[in-house]
Amino acid sequence: MSAQLIDGVALSQKLRAEIASRAAALTAKGKQPGLAVILVGDDPASHVYVRNKVKACEDAGIRSVKEQYPADMTEQALLERIATLNADPSIHGILVQMPLPKHIDSHKVIEAIAATKDVDGYSVLSAGELMAGLEGFLPCTPYGCMKLIESTGVSLKGKHAVVIGRSNTVGKPMGLLLLQANATVTICHSGTADLGYHTRQADIVVAATGRRNTLTADMVKPGAIVIDVGINRDENGKLCGDVDFAGIKEVASHITPVPGGVGPMTITMLLMNTIESAERV
Ligand SMILES: Nc1nc(=O)c2c([nH]1)NC[C@@H]1CN(c3ccc(C(=O)N[C@@H](CCC(=O)O)C(=O)O)cc3)C=[N+]21
């Protein structure tokens, strides 16, 4: 292996230690940070993620309130729960785990969360703040990816960054953050004609398609940084990302593993946003 591993667990540990000391300082002033996590339905992956988030809060001294509801919960009931949490001064962040059951309009739910508590950074206001270059809550996954890239010590200025994927939660905000860091940005997606043509020019590739082997070694410029946002299962049920790790690690200069890369950092930045929210009160 020639590439250096970008270790999301190690970076998370370092950042979570800082988060824990900020949480302790707030708690000493009688303002312990609090995060509400709402889970509707019984998607098994969602249960794992929510459990990890709650555990991470506990470890950092953030109070977490987990609310679990059946898949047939009405949209109205969910909106009422959010209204109650909006008004609760002990709660500084509200996260509604996605995806929601089909009969619930997730856009409406996200917009119901108080702007001051949108620690996921999913609301139209948070998205607009990022677009306008204003301070606001950054979506946790792209925020974590920026921290992972920063940790390599490589400056983004003048570099060509290629994002694969255009989701509202990852691809689009990722492109904006890279742009803000003075990279030249290309956003590729399922309609891109020749993906390899673009990625071969990239100094940094961020893969966020939710599809295994989206990026293979022949598509990577030697010395590139590769960030893998994917969480998929291979034919043996083993967790894997969007990139061919085994092949690309021989070509890239730095690469994130799955698991142990972007996933833990997503949770870390959620904790960070919750602390920032509590400090603003
Ligand atoms: N409102 C909302 N906010 C989210 O931030 C959100 C969401 N909904 N819905 C689902 C996605 C997915 N997501 C992950 C977080 C951590 C890991 C993570 O910790 N992964 C571990 C592995 C965990 C495992 O073993 O399955 C790792 O990559 O090392 C993965 C995925 C947050 N999401």
Q: Contact at 8 Å (CB) between 111 and 125? A: no
pLDDT score, position 255: 98
What are the C-alpha distances in Å from 268 to residues 125, 126, 197, 255, 275? 22, 18, 34, 19, 11
Question: Pocket residues for ligand 1 (CB within 6 Å)?
Answer: 48-49, 52, 95-98, 120, 140, 231, 239, 258-260, 263-264, 266-267
SS3 38: strand
- The b/e string for 31-62 (b: 16+ C-beta within 10 A; e otherwise) is bbbbbbbbbbbebeebeebbeebbebbeebbb
Work out the pLDDT band at 28, boundaries 50, 70, 90: very high
Query: Residue 262 C-alpha to ligand 1 middle, in angstroms?
Result: 9
pLDDT tens digits along 122-170:
999 999 999 999 999 999 999 999 999 999 999 999 999 999 999 999 9
pLDDT score, position 64: 98
Query: Residue 171 C-alpha to ligand 1 middle, in angstroms?
Result: 16
Average of per-residue pLDDT across 105-123: 98
DSSP E strand stretches across 17-75: 34-40, 63-69
Number of Cβ within 10 Å of residue 246's Cβ equals 9
Q: Residue written as tokens 């270059």?
A: 133
pLDDT tens digits along 206-262:
999 999 999 999 999 999 999 999 999 999 999 999 999 999 999 999 999 999 999
Q: Which domains does the chain have, with CATH numbers?
A: 30-116 (3.40.50.10860), 140-263 (3.40.50.720)
Average of per-residue pLDDT across 266-273: 98
SS3 132: helix
Mean pLDDT of the chain: 97
- Protein residue with least CA distance to atom 9, ligand 1: 98
| Catalytic annotation, residues | 53, 97, 120
ipTM above 0.85, yes or no: yes
Q: How large a percentage of the chain has pLDDT more than 70?
A: 100
Q: How large a percentage of the chain has pLDDT more than 90?
A: 99
**Helices 140-150, 171-180: crossing angle, 10 deg rounding:** 40
Average of per-residue pLDDT across 49-76: 97
pLDDT tens digits along 70-99:
999 999 999 999 999 999 999 999 999 999
pLDDT score, position 173: 98
Residue 208 carries which DSSP code? -
Query: Residue 263 C-alpha to ligand 1 middle, in angstroms?
Result: 5
Whole-prediction pTM: 0.98
SS3 76: helix
Q: Which of 204, 142, 133, 137 is nearest to 173 (CA)?
A: 142
pLDDT score, position 1: 66
Q: Alpha helices of 151-250 — where are they, by DSSP H?
A: 171-180, 195-199, 245-248
